[in-house]
Structure 1
Amino acid sequence: MAIGTDAAGEFNAAVDLIDHNLTAGRGQKPAVIDRSGAHSYQELSDNINRFANALKQLGIQQEQRIILCLNDTVDFPICFLGAIKAGIIPVPINTRFTAKDYAFILDDSSAVALIVSDDLLAGFESHLKSHPALRHVIVSGSNSAGHDSLSDMIAGQKPEFEPARTMRDAMCFWLYTSGTTGMPKGTVHLHGSMRATAELYAKETVGIREDDVTFSAAKLFFAYGLGNGLSFPFSVGATAILLDGPPTPDAVCNILRNQAPTIFYGVPTLFGMLLASGLLPKPGEHRLRFCTSAGEALPAELLARWQEQVGVDILDGIGSTEMLHIFLSNRPGDVRPGSTGKPVKGYDIRLTDDDGHPVKPGEMGALEISGPSSGLMYWNRREKSLETFQGPWTRAGDKYRQDEDGYYIYCGRTDDMLKVGGIYVSPFEVEAALIEHEAVLEAAVVGKADADKLIKPKAVIVAKEKNFDADALGMELKQFVKDRLAAFKYPRWIEFVDELPKTATGKIQRFKLREPE
């Protein structure tokens, strides 16, 4: 059946991604390489089935939700695909969220089980008993802290499982994304969506192959990383390298040199860090065919420096949690520096003005996308769902223009949201944290470009007192925010002013605080 058709059809995404590899004779081929070594497609399939059996033994029903707060190890695809095979809804969440975020998601999703890496359990312990729907806590790793052990649970199950009878257009998994209020929103995705992104982007647009070895610095809980490190390699029988720790320049360059990936997926901030590290392998010291970038616009200067030092292209693209993966991209042999490329086959793009009408050629407009991987809705967010998912069109929240050759050029956000290292950051959330400090009277947060032209948060502060040490208070406020929010949200710069620009009704005019581009 063609991707994107209206026919629903019986279809299970986990079966679709794994079983064809066994039929094709790839059972002993490495599917995943993580810190514990290589795991074959047969081993992965067996453990997916064991986990599905374990969920059913616990009494978890079809379409009930389970939260996955897992590091990037083989346990992630086992749990993610095992749940899907059983018709249960896995909800991977950001491992860098705060306890407050985790508590909100557990309540919002009404999750009946939490599967969590042992080193991440601390973010849940303080509120585990406050969620009425939550009945099971299962820990991945050697320290289960009195909870059920994932490895023990899997070991006691059979390696065969009859998949749930699910439909292509049935609810399959959720991914949470942050909104303008700073609280996450659960995007509901369907069983057919991972197949669509694999066929149209991974295979058709960038040309992933069976002999590829992929490595994604973006983690599996991101929509970007989920495709890069799971659905794309599994769709062709390739091998995925997983890094469970942070993608530091040391760790990334060690993998590029010693584990020989052929495709590397990153974000512009990381590419800038790698270039500055002096650790990158030179041409002839790696096996990369190409790299991809998403999450924020890739500056042309970064691309040129990467091409010079590493000798391969970075294919810049844009995707979203709502669309599951990249829908607008540069291609091998067709890279336009400073652009996000052209639409991925199977996706339609339009740019609209404030009234929803198409803009004239060359003019800037709001980006809207129509394609087969669009999310169904935001869970418990009807008003926001209606605003974002408009019939066949999904509003991205980005401003673009199309040049005379048909390439799309990024122009900024349609709201005040910032993208920092590929992750949305709400200025309102950072401002709220700053205001909690006893020395702060008012705060406004805007985006500012760093030396590599990548956006980071900048705070403009009105202090309560007139006489203070600006440098000392600035350092204190940065740490103050780090202690309250996920670390990537802290303001990199702090400027002190006597007053903030405001409208007649008292609203802060953030656009007056932004530096001209």
Structure 2
Amino acid sequence: MADAEFMEERAAGTAMSEDRLRYEHWYRGYRWDVPERYNVARDVCDKHSPERLAMILTGESIEDRFVHWGEIQMLANRFANSIAAQGVRPGDRVAVLMSASVEAAAAILGILKLGAIGVPMAALWSDESLVYRLGCAQVALLIVDDANAARPLEGMHRTLRYDAAHIASFDSVFETADTRADDPALIYFTSGSTGKPKGVVAPHRGLIGHNEFEVCQDLRDGERSYWMGDWAWGVYKVLGPWRYGAVNLVHMSAHRYDPEGLLAALSRHQVSNVFLNPSGLRLMMKTVPDAGTRYPQAFRICCSANEPLGRAEATWFREQFGIDVLENYGMTEAYPMVGNFHGLRIKPGSMGRPVPGWDVQLLDDAEHPVADGEQGEICLRTRSNPQFPLGYWNRPDDTQAVFGGEWFHTNDLAVRDADGFIWYDGRKDDVIKTSGYRISPFEVEEACCQHPAVAAAGVIGVSDPERGARVKAYIVLAEGFDASGAVAESIREFVRGAHSQFGYPRLIEFVDELPSSQSGKVNRKALRERARGAEF
């Protein structure tokens, strides 16, 4: 819609709120610009002036290190030459099993410059999980650092152990491959929460489709940026900011996650644009409750995704740092699909509205749109934006079933309100049907976690001959509480009031920890499959 049309609609006294009018104008007018020839490395790495700052590395055991583009460009070219010397050719798969670092990023860029396909790997995966993924992707070469070199990862691939002196022996000049935008660039593996992990094949154009850096993060040239999460689930979290000219902060820790060390680094380097997942926010809130006082920040934008954001975390962050967390939604196959946007209205608890450039609808089982207020499945029109995957690696049947129709089905359920905001309502296969009611396990989990005795909760339905299913909660107790019938009854009564008279957990089992998927979400499939213990 042109600006003149926007002003005409506004002047005509449309019933639509000005916020929604602004959003609709933006959403309808968004256009993609995808060239026929495109290589991620050229757009992310080659275009920058060598003297510009690219990355800041911090950590508890290292001095802060400022890395400029000239260093990364030469290292990426040396990696490309060393990989080619191993016999790797365009289209071959090259896996990277290294800690987040300048060298890991340069390795990925070197793979892309060669026209090969990068396969980022997570050190947190077990040896068995890594061997499965290496075999599934038919990897030709595995690049490892010292920390992972001794792992028993036998297979058909060759292994290149990173050695600074060895890499430095290769030429620092390399001509980036002239790839098509549709050529495969990266393979990411799904978390395996709904079956065996599958390799999602992302084309070079996929990075163009990652417009969350523009529309959600509002990233600016030269801005300092931090993205939480392992690169194995999306190296775009370092490549994307670089495409927009931002400076990436990478915080290295001997621990899996060091909230206080991270807060100190973000404060010290005045990072203004951050992405923090809900689990990280939750631990940050518990570990450093007075974070805003102890570590004053320059935060301008904070986004979050991966799981629904709890009210407690959202409120705490706003009180500490003075800005709202903008919740987004997506998955390995397609991110982002729904989001909240800087400068537009947000509704706490809602994951926002469809992202401009993404044709997202809530559909019923017959793939018909549902009305406002009705539950539907979040679906993305296939091939409607540049990020849409090429498919699952070497799985043509799954590719056709998931990506071959008109709609990509997420199996996530949601409701859209009258203002167009979308509210998450659980997984399609997790919804509990009891006595005619449909219950979102996420909402019950959230209600449970508001009780002072609950540190974490996982909720499923268990078979019941009368009701169809009964709601069962697996509870990890907070420090200072012991498992007992009295505590279980207290939780039940609390949730009865906080959630509903029909959705409270009739069964409670206390556990030491909850099973989680590789991406950190509660693995309800594992809960359904585990043997039942003592129930209250």
Under a length normalisation based on structure 2, what TM-score does the superposition of the two structures give?
0.73
Aligned to 2:45: 18
Question: Equivalent of 2:284, from 264, 274, 297?
Answer: 274
The CA distance in 2 between the partners of 1:352 and 1:477, in whole Å, is 37
Greater shift, 451-460 or 246-255, is seen at 451-460
Deviation at 1:182, TM superposition (A): 4.2
1:262 equivalenced with 2:289 (yes/no): no
Question: Equivalent of 1:138, from 153, 156, 160?
Answer: 160
Aligned to 2:372: 361
The CA distance in 2 between the partners of 1:402 and 1:10, in whole Å, is 38
Query: Any conservation in 2 of the 1:3–1:196 contact (CA below 8 Å)?
Result: no
Aligned to 1:244: 252
Query: Any conservation in 1 of the 2:181–2:203 contact (CA below 8 Å)?
Result: yes
Aligned to 1:116: 144
SS at match of 2:239: helix
Aligned to 2:164: 151
Instruction: Go from structure 1 to structure 2 and tell me whether the alpha carbon gap of 1:447 and 1:183 turns closer, same or farther (over 3 Å shift).
Output: farther
Percent identity (aligned): 24
Query: Any conservation in 2 of the 1:460–1:496 contact (CA below 8 Å)?
Result: no
Write out aligned runs for 1:329-478 (5 A): 329-334=339-344, 335-370=346-381, 371-391=385-405, 393-416=407-430, 448-449=445-446, 451=449, 457=458
Aligned to 2:308: 297
Greater shift, 382-391 or 326-335, is seen at 382-391
Specify the code of the residue in structure 1 equivalent to 2:53. P
Specify the code of the residue in structure 2 equivalent to 1:374. F
Query: Any conservation in 2 of the 1:61–1:88 contact (CA below 8 Å)?
Result: yes
The CA distance in 1 between the partners of 2:342 and 2:113, in whole Å, is 34
TM-align CA RMSD: 3.7
Question: Equivalent of 2:93, from 62, 65, 70?
Answer: 65
Query: Any conservation in 2 of the 1:257–1:281 contact (CA below 8 Å)?
Result: no
Specify the code of the residue in structure 1 equivalent to 2:40. A
Aligned to 2:323: 312
Q: Which runs of 5+ in 2 are unaligned?
A: 1-29, 432-442, 463-481, 484-507
Instruction: Go from structure 1 to structure 2 and tell me whether the alpha carbon gap of 1:475 and 1:403 turns closer, same or farther (over 3 Å shift).
Output: closer
The CA distance in 1 between the partners of 2:359 and 2:180, in whole Å, is 25
Deviation at 1:495, TM superposition (A): 12
Deviation at 1:390, TM superposition (A): 3.6
The CA distance in 2 between the partners of 1:222 and 1:65, in whole Å, is 16
Deviation at 1:189, TM superposition (A): 0.4
Instruction: Go from structure 1 to structure 2 and tell me whether the alpha carbon gap of 1:242 and 1:495 turns closer, same or farther (over 3 Å shift).
Output: same
The CA distance in 2 between the partners of 1:119 and 1:100, in whole Å, is 17
Aligned to 2:55: 32
1:9 equivalenced with 2:36 (yes/no): yes
Aligned to 2:127: 99
Greater shift, 450-459 or 273-282, is seen at 450-459
Aligned to 2:243: 235
Instruction: Go from structure 1 to structure 2 and tell me whether the alpha carbon gap of 1:162 and 1:379 turns closer, same or farther (over 3 Å shift).
Output: same
Instruction: Go from structure 1 to structure 2 and tell me whether the alpha carbon gap of 1:356 and 1:158 turns closer, same or farther (over 3 Å shift).
Output: same
Question: Equivalent of 2:201, from 188, 209, 215?
Answer: 188
Query: Any conservation in 2 of the 1:67–1:114 contact (CA below 8 Å)?
Result: yes
The CA distance in 2 between the partners of 1:227 and 1:181, in whole Å, is 23
Q: Which runs of 5+ in 1 are unaligned?
A: 140-148, 418-445, 462-469, 501-512
Largest Rg, 1 or 2: 2
Specify the code of the residue in structure 2 equivalent to 1:372. P
Aligned to 1:433: none
Q: Which string of whole-angstrom CA distances, capped at 9 and with x for unpartnered residues, describes residues 188-224 of structure 1?
A: 0001111221xx321234310013111122122222x
Aligned to 2:499: none
Number of aligned residues: 437
Deviation at 1:348, TM superposition (A): 0.9
1:86 equivalenced with 2:82 (yes/no): no
Deviation at 1:459, TM superposition (A): 9.2
The CA distance in 2 between the partners of 1:498 and 1:12, in whole Å, is 50
The CA distance in 2 between the partners of 1:486 and 1:189, in whole Å, is 19
The CA distance in 1 between the partners of 2:514 and 2:216, in whole Å, is 44
Write out aligned runs for 1:181-220 (5 A): 182-197=195-210, 200-220=211-231
Query: Any conservation in 1 of the 2:42–2:176 contact (CA below 8 Å)?
Result: yes
Q: Which string of whole-angstrom CA distances, capped at 9 and with x for unpartnered residues, describes residues 285-342 of structure 1?
A: 211112110001112332122101221221100121101x322111113322111111
Instruction: Go from structure 1 to structure 2 and tell me whether the alpha carbon gap of 1:265 and 1:181 turns closer, same or farther (over 3 Å shift).
Output: closer
The CA distance in 2 between the partners of 1:416 and 1:94, in whole Å, is 27
